[in-house]
């Protein structure tokens, strides 16, 4: 059973993230997996869809419908936050890539590259020309 405090905290977090009950479409479907006949006969699995973003979550973690509703909403919140963070991190990754491309190489790195090129050149020289 989910405590009242946890439910209130989740509701507060959902409102803070901009997820409201009016924006959620909820269905109850037959569950599968362990739990015996109870799970296979009752519609305890929760399927929710956040209409503005199109994110969907299916949760049949518990045999209780009320617990599954809580877990589904919590997972929806996590998905939405991940989606927002992913956009930020992609922007940050692109900026870091550009910075790295524009950055000058250190003397040590330049020397290493030149030494590798010279070594490769010697190997090719030793092969000699092919005679056909």
**pTM strictly above 0.85:** no
**34 vs 52, which has greater pLDDT?**
52
Interatomic CA distance for residues 42 and 30, integer angstroms: 6
Query: Which pLDDT band, with edges at 50, 70 and 90, does 92 fall under?
Result: confident
3-state DSSP call for residue 89?
A: helix
Q: Are 72 and 49 in contact (CB under 8 A)?
A: no
Give the C-alpha distances (Å, rounded to integers) separating 46 from 22, 106, 118. Answer: 17, 57, 65
Confidence at residue 63, expressed as pLDDT on a 0 to 100 scale: 82
DSSP strands (E only) in 15-60: 24-29, 45-50, 55-59
pLDDT of 89 above 70: yes
The neighbour count for residue 105, using CB atoms within 10 Å, is 10
Confidence at residue 35, expressed as pLDDT on a 0 to 100 scale: 67
Interatomic CA distance for residues 9 and 18, integer angstroms: 14
Per-chain mean pLDDT for the chain? 88
Interatomic CA distance for residues 55 and 53, integer angstroms: 6
User: Which DSSP symbol is given to 43?
Assistant: -
Query: Which pLDDT band, with edges at 50, 70 and 90, does 90 fall under?
Result: confident
């Amino acid at each position: 059973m989910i405590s009242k405090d946890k439910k209130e905290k989740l509701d507060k977090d959902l409102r803070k993230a901009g997820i409201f009950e009016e924006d959620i479409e909820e269905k109850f479907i037959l569950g599968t997996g362990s739990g015996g006949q109870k799970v296979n006969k009752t519609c305890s699995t929760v399927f929710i869809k956040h209409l503005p973003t199109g994110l969907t979550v299916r949760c049949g973690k518990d045999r209780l419908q009320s617990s599954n509703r809580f877990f589904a909403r919590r997972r929806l919140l996590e998905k939405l936050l991940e989606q927002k963070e992913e956009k930020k991190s992609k922007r940050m990754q692109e900026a870091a890539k550009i910075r790295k491309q524009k950055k000058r190489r250190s003397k040590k790195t330049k020397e290493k590259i030149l030494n590798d090129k010279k070594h490769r050149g010697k190997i090719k020289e030793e092969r000699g020309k092919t005679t056909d």
